[in-house]
Amino acid sequence: MNQRDSNTSPKQGHLFTVEILIEDQTNGLAMEKLLHLLNVDAIKDYQILKGIQLGQLIELNTKQGSPASLHTNKKTVVPTPTTTGRTNPTEAAKHIVEQLESFKTNNTLIRLTVVKAQGIKLNLPCRILNFDASSQNVTVYHVDEKKVYLFKLNEIDDYVATN
């Protein structure tokens, strides 16, 4: 085959089986790094077969048959930080939550700036799908990647609404 034939032939997909070791503080953070590495144009699809260690607390709870006890423990832990007497941050947080709920209701496109662990900064165009006030989780839909992401409210650095 000459040089001209190799340039005009269509691209073919090639499948590789690999094991990758990523060091980080938790399995979730290592998984996040792996997903960032795999979400590039050259990689059309991937499948993670093992190594995911998420949902273990849920499994333990369902095996023991005591989900109510865990839920009760969470309720007693949550009010403790709010009783510290800080009023101004609470008012600011209410304003942010109201804006997020407004973005969710109006299906507003926003540009979200998120700072993840170790200073990794993400800037993504998205729509708010859900905000869980009890866990402070914000679920967003990334409009470019067509994927759903879950962020803690304290990871959100900035957001700008676009029309």
In a domain, 54, yes or no: no
Look up the domain containing 134 and give its range: 85-163
**pTM for the full predicted model:** 0.45
State the pLDDT at residue 45.
77
Res 80 pLDDT > 70: no
pLDDT band of residue 76 (cuts 50, 70, 90) is: very low
Write the CATH number for 99: 2.30.30.100
Nearest to 100 by CA among 148, 143, 145, 153: 153
In which residue are the tokens 């989900």 written? Answer: 67
* Percent of all residues in the chain with a pLDDT value above 70, rounded to a whole number: 70
* Count: domains in the chain: 1
pLDDT of 18-46, one tens digit each? 888 888 887 777 878 888 888 887 887 77
Res 58 pLDDT > 50: yes
Res 82 pLDDT > 90: no
In a domain, 93, yes or no: yes
In a domain, 63, yes or no: no
Are the C-beta atoms of 30 and 24 separated by less than 8 Å?
yes
